Chain A
Amino acid sequence: MNDDQRLIADTTERMLEAHCTNQLIDQAEKGVYPTKLWELLESNGLTSLGADTSLGGGGGSFGDALVVLRQAGRFAVPLPLAETLVATQVLGECGIQVQKGAALVVGAEPGSSGDSLTWTARAAAFGRHCETVYFFDEQSPDQLHRFSQAEITRTEGEDLAGCARDDLRVKAVDAEIEVIKAGSFDLARLKLFGAATRAVMMAGALEAALEATVGYALERKQFGKPIGKFQAIQQQLAVFSTQVAASTRAAETLMVSEELLEIDVAIAKARIGEAAGIGAEIAHQVFGAIGYTKEHGLNHLTRRLWVWRDEYGHEGFWQAHLGHLLLANSNASLWHQVTELG
């Protein structure tokens, strides 16, 4: 990470440490949206990194946005931060002005109802909380349609971390249709951005879960000593930390790259997705029954790990995708491809 990124990481960390408490996350799950936390992050420019200032963005790169999101993962932030940062990136690349407030770019299926056109997006992350929603028409992908929340009909749902995943539907007759040229942008690229956000968020959550688990192992006593003194527990935590180290390395590649490479995203989502399951399992084993409660904060991290590893393609999808990318490059041996990746 460069100095700017270190500064971004520190700023984000300080803010989240002070304000993104377990209580806030619990409340958010009960429906109390943490507006104040959003405003704090927004006013510090952390929600608009990655688009040029001339377009209303905060400057910086998508890598900088990923630095913020890794911290968001560590603190299980219950806000559409990834969604907004991806939207900012997409708008920036398309040369479109970035709006204030939370935003979402999502692929939507076109259809019709009576004699009106419709678009439907399924299980859109934080759908109800995003003030501006951009539908990417899956049939004519060079077009973005901008809608405000008021123009959208929702069927609300939740993911297994208790975060909003809403079906969003727009009927053309009810909305003022604003069509924006999306240039060369396409859905595959949107998925790539999405996968990158989930990869770094998982890396952050894994780090935090390891920290919490090691801390607990040193505190919790059984048989007259901290459970962390038992070799069986030490060995488990060592395995956990190897997974965290690999995840961190894979995530940081995405943050420091000048350009987001498809193959690096595939590697990161495949590798970190695998680590997520292993890490969550060990964390829960070491925490015993207390970790299996809603009351204890561990679940905020592990439930998100289980969500994020499946979003924008689970590890199996990206493993296969990587396999295809490697095989498609049939002129170069595996070793040559590996060394070229650096």
Chain B
Amino acid sequence: MFQGMNFAPAKLPGELEALRHEVRDFLSAERDWQPNSDFNAGASPEFSQRFAAKGWIGMTWPKAYGGAEKTFLERYVVTEELLAAGAPVGCHWIADRQSGPLLLKFGTEEQKQRFLPPIIAGESFYSIGMSEPDTGSDLASIRTSAEKVDGGWRLNGSKIWTSNAHLNHYMVTLVRTAPPSDNRHAGMSQFIVPIDAEGVTVRGIENLAGEQDFNQIFFDDVFIADDQVVGEPGNGWAQVMSELAYERSGPERFLSAFRVLAEFGKSLTLDSSEEMIRLYGRLSAHLVVLRRMSISVASLLESGVMPDTEAALIKELGNSYERLVPEMVRLHLPGEVPKALADALQECILHAPSFTLRGGTREILRGMIARGLGLR
């Protein structure tokens, strides 16, 4: 069979059920939010702090930095419970999933000691600075650049679509630190930019749903000290690519529409029409299989394998599913639509266009899968 199609059955170990119940208890005591299973749609610094107090941010990281050295599968249980409950995870999501692991892998000892403990404490939130006004899918075409100055770098340019930058403290920013050459992937670096640094301006952008979730950021002669460069200058591209499997295979890639399905299910009884029950079964079958695929990949990650193609495959399949759910449910509504279902549907329809864009568009992911098939 092809490379990149390894979804060997794996189960979450039974002993994780205690953890699952602990998370459920915490969430039901906390619940005061408008549930939304889209990880991008709710953010609350207070919630993230109380969540951190349970030890659930950076839970897989070394104890030396305040982590709990839990397994990746334990983290899987915690994150899927958060999403299923529709908790406002936006503040800590990126730091926990991406920025922290990046620092652990490529950061200096001093950086780890300085940046990781506040993340774990729920006091330090991160954004991703990759896209630019003229750079979307073709990430290697970035123009935001920095020139070497005494003790650091002088940064100029602009990033856009930066989720939650208005709430967060840092953004891990991909920057050109050497002029473009024949090797398009050379000459890039990742900076830890404090969003309140001098010369950084944040301009909020309202999304289609009328929320402020992303921003444009302007860098105007921002000084970045050498000790805020992640890893080696010039290694930025490889660093960005190294985290894709974590970024693309998680439950957030197929649970964004979960509220719609759950509320739809609550509106049904065994006496509902056969079409409605069939749709409920159909969408649930997809969900169970996607989750099983995602757990298979999580087990590979736990064992140290980097299943990039599998991750792209889950994201593509999961995102298409997330787009299918509201489109099908709206055609199968009960005569009197419960408010919770109507609200979930409305939210989901407004957010749905972003599902197949953020984190790599559908077309780009399909291209990656095609590469796994040996077609490119």
- Let me know if A320 and B366 touch, CB within 8 A: no
- In the bound complex, how far is the Cα of B371 from the Cα of A234, in angstroms? 9
B290: A residues at CB distance < 8 A = 246
User: What is the interface residue range for chain A against chain B?
Assistant: 35 or more
Select one of B277, B280, B291, B316 contacting A338, CB under 8 A.
B291
A318: B residues at CB distance < 8 A = 281, 285
Let me know if A267 is at the binding interface, CB within 8 A.
yes
Q: Give chain B nearest CB distance to A4 CB in angstroms.
A: 15
Decide if the interface of chain A is mainly helix, strand, loop or mixed: helix
- Let me know if B281 and A339 touch, CB within 8 A: no
**A326 and B9 in contact, given A237-B373, A246-B317, A249-B289 (Cβ under 8 angstroms):** no
A240-272 contacts to B, CB under 8 A, are 241-242, 244-246, 248-250, 252-253, 256, 266-267, 270-271
Specify the chain A residue showing the minimal Cβ separation from B80.
A339
- Let me know if B265 and A241 touch, CB within 8 A: no
- Let me know if A246 and B293 touch, CB within 8 A: yes
Q: Can you list, as one digit per residue, whether each of A267-294 has a CB less than 8 Å from chain B (1) or not (0)?
A: 1001100100000000000000000000
The stretch of A117-125, A175-183, A327-335 that contacts the partner chain: A327-335
A150: B residues at CB distance < 8 A = none
Specify the chain A residue showing the minimal Cβ separation from B269.
A327
Q: Give chain B nearest CB distance to A177 CB in angstroms.
A: 39
**A214 and B9 in contact, given A319-B281, A326-B265 (Cβ under 8 angstroms):** no
Q: Give chain A nearest CB distance to B35 CB in angstroms.
A: 11
Select one of B270, B320, B369, B374 contacting A324, CB under 8 A.
B270
B369: A residues at CB distance < 8 A = 238, 241-242
**A218 and B278 in contact, given A242-B313, A250-B289 (Cβ under 8 angstroms):** no
B7: A residues at CB distance < 8 A = 245, 248-249, 252
Q: Can you list, as one digit per residue, whether each of B312-333 has a CB less than 8 Å from chain A (1) or not (0)?
A: 0100110010000000000000
A208-249 contacts to B, CB under 8 A, are 210-211, 214, 217-218, 228-229, 231, 233-235, 237-239, 241-242, 244-246, 248-249
- In the bound complex, how far is the Cα of B317 from the Cα of A274, in angstroms? 13
Q: Give chain A nearest CB distance to B265 CB in angstroms.
A: 5
Let me know if A341 is at the binding interface, CB within 8 A.
yes
Select one of A217, A237, A239, A270 contacting B285, CB under 8 A.
A270
Q: Give chain B nearest CB distance to A236 CB in angstroms.
A: 9
- In the bound complex, how far is the Cα of B33 from the Cα of A92, in angstroms? 54
Q: Give chain A nearest CB distance to B182 CB in angstroms.
A: 23
Let me know if B363 is at the binding interface, CB within 8 A.
yes
Let me know if B222 is at the binding interface, CB within 8 A.
no
- In the bound complex, how far is the Cα of B296 from the Cα of A217, in angstroms? 29
**A242 and B262 in contact, given A267-B289, A323-B280 (Cβ under 8 angstroms):** no
From A207, A256, A322, A341, name the one whose CB has the most chain B CB atoms within 10 angstroms. A322
Q: Give chain A nearest CB distance to B226 CB in angstroms.
A: 42
A306-325 contacts to B, CB under 8 A, are 315-316, 318-325
Let me know if B241 is at the binding interface, CB within 8 A.
no
Q: Give chain A nearest CB distance to B210 CB in angstroms.
A: 28
Let me know if B376 is at the binding interface, CB within 8 A.
yes
Specify the chain B residue showing the minimal Cβ separation from A234.
B370
Let me know if B193 is at the binding interface, CB within 8 A.
no
B11: A residues at CB distance < 8 A = 342
- Let me know if B12 and A342 touch, CB within 8 A: yes
- In the bound complex, how far is the Cα of B20 from the Cα of A229, in angstroms? 46
Let me know if B344 is at the binding interface, CB within 8 A.
no
A231: B residues at CB distance < 8 A = 367
A320: B residues at CB distance < 8 A = 274, 277-278, 281
Let me know if A1 is at the binding interface, CB within 8 A.
yes
A274: B residues at CB distance < 8 A = 282
A335: B residues at CB distance < 8 A = 84, 258, 262
Q: Give chain A nearest CB distance to B200 CB in angstroms.
A: 38
- Let me know if A214 and B262 touch, CB within 8 A: no
A234: B residues at CB distance < 8 A = 366-367, 370, 373, 375-376
B294-323 contacts to A, CB under 8 A, are 295-296, 310, 313, 316-317, 320
Let me know if B287 is at the binding interface, CB within 8 A.
yes
- Let me know if B281 and A334 touch, CB within 8 A: no
Specify the chain B residue showing the minimal Cβ separation from A257.
B9
**A323 and B277 in contact, given A238-B373, A334-B284, A342-B12 (Cβ under 8 angstroms):** yes
- Let me know if A324 and B1 touch, CB within 8 A: no
- In the bound complex, how far is the Cα of B1 from the Cα of A320, in angstroms? 32
- In the bound complex, how far is the Cα of B371 from the Cα of A229, in angstroms? 10
- Let me know if A242 and B374 touch, CB within 8 A: no
- Let me know if B317 and A245 touch, CB within 8 A: yes
Let me know if B53 is at the binding interface, CB within 8 A.
no
- In the bound complex, how far is the Cα of B290 from the Cα of A173, in angstroms? 54
Q: Give chain B nearest CB distance to A335 CB in angstroms.
A: 5
- In the bound complex, how far is the Cα of B291 from the Cα of A256, in angstroms? 17
Let me know if B292 is at the binding interface, CB within 8 A.
yes
Specify the chain B residue showing the minimal Cβ separation from A337.
B284
Q: Can you list 23 A-B contacts (CB < 8 A)?
A: A211-B1, A218-B374, A233-B375, A234-B370, A234-B373, A237-B370, A238-B369, A238-B370, A241-B5, A241-B313, A241-B369, A242-B369, A245-B5, A246-B289, A248-B5, A250-B289, A270-B281, A270-B282, A271-B285, A319-B278, A320-B274, A320-B277, A323-B281
Q: Which 3 pairs across A and B sit closest by C-beta, in order of nearness?
A: A323-B281, A322-B281, A234-B370
Chain A residues with CB under 8 Å of chain B are: 1, 207, 210-211, 214, 217-218, 228-229, 231, 233-235, 237-239, 241-242, 244-246, 248-250, 252-253, 256, 266-267, 270-271, 274, 315-316, 318-328, 333-335, 338-339, 341-342
Known contacts A235-B366, A249-B292, A253-B9, then 15 further A-B pairs from the complex at CB < 8 Å, ordered by chain A residue: A214-B2, A229-B376, A231-B367, A234-B376, A237-B370, A242-B320, A248-B7, A315-B282, A318-B281, A318-B285, A324-B281, A326-B284, A327-B268, A334-B284, A338-B288
